[in-house]
Amino acid sequence: MKDFWAEELQNQRKGKLKKLSIFIVCIILLCAIITLILVYLFNLNFRMWCDNNILIKEIKQDKTRNIDLDGDENIQIYAYDKYICIFRNKTLEIYNKVGTKIESIDLDINKAIFSSAGRYLAISEENGQKFYLISGKEKLFENEIEGNISQIYVNSSGYVSIVITNTGYKSIVGMYNKEGKEIFKTNLATSRVVDVSISNDSKYLAIAEIDLSGILIKSSIQIISLELAQKDPENAIINKYEASTDKLIVNIEYQEGNSILCMYNNSIEILQNQESKEIINFDDKNLTYMTIGLDNRMLILEEISTGEYSTETHVMITNPKTLKTKEYIIENVSKEIYTYQNKIAINFGKELYIMNTNGILLKKYVSETEINDVIITDSLVGVIYRDSIQIINL
């Protein structure tokens, strides 16, 4: 009897020790995984080594789906949401992520200019009168104006802004909701509009303009309340910031919290709370590329020589409010950069690096021939050749 209870007690102890051992091993594995993730995120060299040797993020051209093209055709190619579109012969052909044509929309325009955000695609005739808004595979509205459309912009809520020229004014900016109803128009008698941006909450419109009427060129940004523009148009401008005469405005982009990133010929500034603060000045830096065309980030590329025949491209992605920067280094010289919301694609000729705004490499695409052009959304990348579009799903 004693032997039975002693054996039972010993078995219970062994069971408890086994469970404890399993628990300790699980804790150690969990800590190791968390440590590896943190090191991957914050140690650039380790991240690059993992990308190349463990995670195997490389994808070759012959492993991707494609859309065939006739190299002699006069076409325009664009991407939005989860679709690739080909515009030819006044028809917008829409393809899905596997390269299948799923819809065609007739558009009475010849040469198109595009803008997209989220699921919305805005299209207008270049220097024409007609413009359209598309959501997914459906045409929401078409509209026509007097004058000539030089720019079109849409935000993620479907609000559309167009810049009109060749009227009695230097420029006219019009605003429309996603039903195609005109909200308001503003006339600029002496200034030329460089860029426009609509806030994410669709409450404000920012207009970047250059005044060429005086001896000195003046750059300024005016912010219009869309609510006031419908009730009291004369008092709709709630803020106007004038830059110093040595700055030439290039483009603007609304960020979260309704701050505005402003790119000039020599710097990037952030405009918030009616004050402008310089983030970076280009004059004392050897930069090859910079853009504010991302969600709440700015992108700067710097090429650094590492030897007589070798160069590194340093990709720096910066949060404009916190100034925290994520960096990625590629041992090559970049040829072209493409951005969309949270995604970045960098063309190195026969290689395309695709990453997110956290500096994490998503895909490395290896091409058999030189890459002609690239289209990008948050869902996919299209690599354009003379006779095909290769599709990379993200």
pTM of the model: 0.84
Cα–Cα distances (Å) from 332 to 27, 186, 306, 312, in that order, read 41, 47, 11, 5
pLDDT in tens, 276-325: 888 988 876 678 888 998 989 999 998 888 877 778 888 999 999 889 99
Q: Looking at residue 354, what is its pLDDT?
A: 94
Q: Kindly report the length of the chain.
A: 394
Q: Looking at residue 81, what is its pLDDT?
A: 94
Q: Are 350 and 371 in contact (CB under 8 A)?
A: yes
pLDDT along the chain (394 residues), means of 10: 55 64 76 67 64 71 91 87 94 94 94 94 94 94 91 94 79 90 84 91 92 82 90 84 88 91 92 85 79 91 82 90 89 90 93 92 92 94 94 93
The rounded Cα 26 to chain-centroid distance in angstroms is 40
pLDDT in tens, 125-162: 999 999 999 999 999 999 999 889 999 999 999 999 99
Provide the greatest CA pair distance for the chain.
Answer: 110
The Cα angle at residue 216 between residues 214 and 221, in degrees rounded to 5: 90
Residue with tokens 């859309």: 67
Indicate if the alpha-carbon torsion angle 337, 380, 263, 170 is positive or negative. Answer: positive
**Tokens linked to 173:** 């900016």
The letter for the amino acid at 188 is L
Q: Looking at residue 12, what is its pLDDT?
A: 61
Of the candidates 167, 164, 159, 261, which has an alpha carbon nearest to the alpha carbon of residue 201? 159
Q: Looking at residue 39, what is its pLDDT?
A: 61
**Tokens linked to 361:** 């490499």
Of the candidates 288, 375, 373, which has an alpha carbon nearest to the alpha carbon of residue 330? 288
